Amino acid sequence: MGKKLINDPDNVVQEMIEGIVMASSQRLEKLDSYNIVVRKDAPVEKVGLVSGGGSGHEPAHAGYVGQGMLDAAVAGDVFTSPTPDAVFEAIKTVDSGNGVLLIIKNYTGDIMNFEMAAEMAEAEGIEVDQVVVNDDVAVEDSLYTTGRRGVAGTVFVHKIAGAKAAQGADLKEVKRSAEKVIKNVRTKGMAINPCQLPAAEKSTFSLEEDEMEMGIGIHGEPGTEKTKLKNVDQIVELLLADILSDLEVEAEEKVALMINGMGGTPLMELYIANRKANQLLKSKEIEIYKTYVGEFMTSLEMEGLSITILKLDDDLINLLEAESEINLL
């Protein structure tokens, strides 16, 4: 069993949420008896934005609660969707009468629990709608799978939908902006070392010294293939090739680029990856409007990275640049 800086595996999420709120006590608070982070000034007179999911992906999602992004983040246990009663509590807290948009990552459990919560909220007369983020090109979207997973691209949905809601747009318009991001964002990840759940005795998967897993998910769930370890330039080339063949970015189009660390990857390595990604995109004459390097959607201490590309137009650029309490860069 690997070492961890924790007290009791059963209390990691609650203790983390308390720590997050204490770090931003002027603007955030925790709801009593739930692992939910909300804006202190909730409900704000606008469309409410609620996201959430399993814990272990920090800063997602509690780190994105603030003016210009989310109104509440619901934290489930590690890698486990939060329960319907918790999501319902978050919806009730942020609803100002203008409706609430749920931003859900595409996992069977998340969808079931958020849908049950939406049913509860609708029964109380709260207008609720939802978007499902599915940016991971590693898994095929076909009849034979649950569809693509939602990964780091979700952060762009938080940002764009958050900016739109802050401008006073209605629920339909905010949803449309979120869906526009989902349509134009793609991600692929990989790992060289797995992560271990605080309550489990073993790692979620195993890799030999000279192996890597391409297409890894953010729960340490196996990726698409195990292969011999390559150098980071070659890895970036493989990841970008899959993303670009799926997203179909033309020369001279503008994109946002995100190099996301999985939790255990040194920034040094992320910057080396970014160097190659920038070179490759430039060689294809794709204009990088903005680059984000850091940890946005992690997987505990997993060593690995993901690359996200968001195709931009003027509308998305304006929303991406909108003011927010949360600085992504």
Partner 1 sequence: MVNRTKKLLLKTAAVIIENKEYLTELDAAIGDGDHGINLARGFKKLKEKLEKENFEGRDELFKLTAMTLISNVGGASGPLYGTAFLNISKVISDNKLDLDDLVEIAEESIAGIQKRGKAEAGEKTMLDTIIPAAESLKHSRANKVDLETALNNCLEKAAEGMKSTIEMQATKGRASYLGERSIGHQDPGATSSYLMIKTFIKSYLN
Interface positions with partner 1 (CB under 8 A): 10, 54, 76-86, 107-109, 112-113, 116, 138-140, 143-146, 149, 197, 199-205, 217, 219-222, 224
Minimum Å gap between C-beta 130 and partner 1 is 15
* 35 close to 14: Cβ distance less than 8 angstroms: yes
- Give the residue with the Cβ less far from partner 1, 72 or 139: 139
- Give the residue with the Cβ less far from partner 1, 83 or 278: 83
Minimum Å gap between C-beta 21 and partner 1 is 21
d(CA 209, CA 194): 12
Length reported for the chain: 329
d(CA 258, CA 261): 10
In 165-253, at which residue ranges do the beta strands (DSSP E only) sit?
185-193, 211-214, 225-228
> Coil, helix or strand for 179?
helix
Query: Tokens representing 201?
Result: 């005795």
Minimum Å gap between C-beta 117 and partner 1 is 10
Minimum Å gap between C-beta 74 and partner 1 is 10
Q: Nearest-CA neighbor of 212 among 224, 198, 197?
A: 224
Minimum Å gap between C-beta 123 and partner 1 is 15
- Give the residue with the Cβ less far from partner 1, 80 or 265: 80
- Give the residue with the Cβ less far from partner 1, 99 or 215: 215
Strands 72-78 and 48-55: parallel
Longest dimension (CA), the chain: 56
Catalytic residue annotation: 57, 219
* 315 close to 167: Cβ distance less than 8 angstroms: no
* 135 close to 147: Cβ distance less than 8 angstroms: no
d(CA 223, CA 310): 22
d(CA 104, CA 51): 6
CA 45, chain centre distance (Å): 25
- Give the residue with the Cβ less far from partner 1, 205 or 289: 205
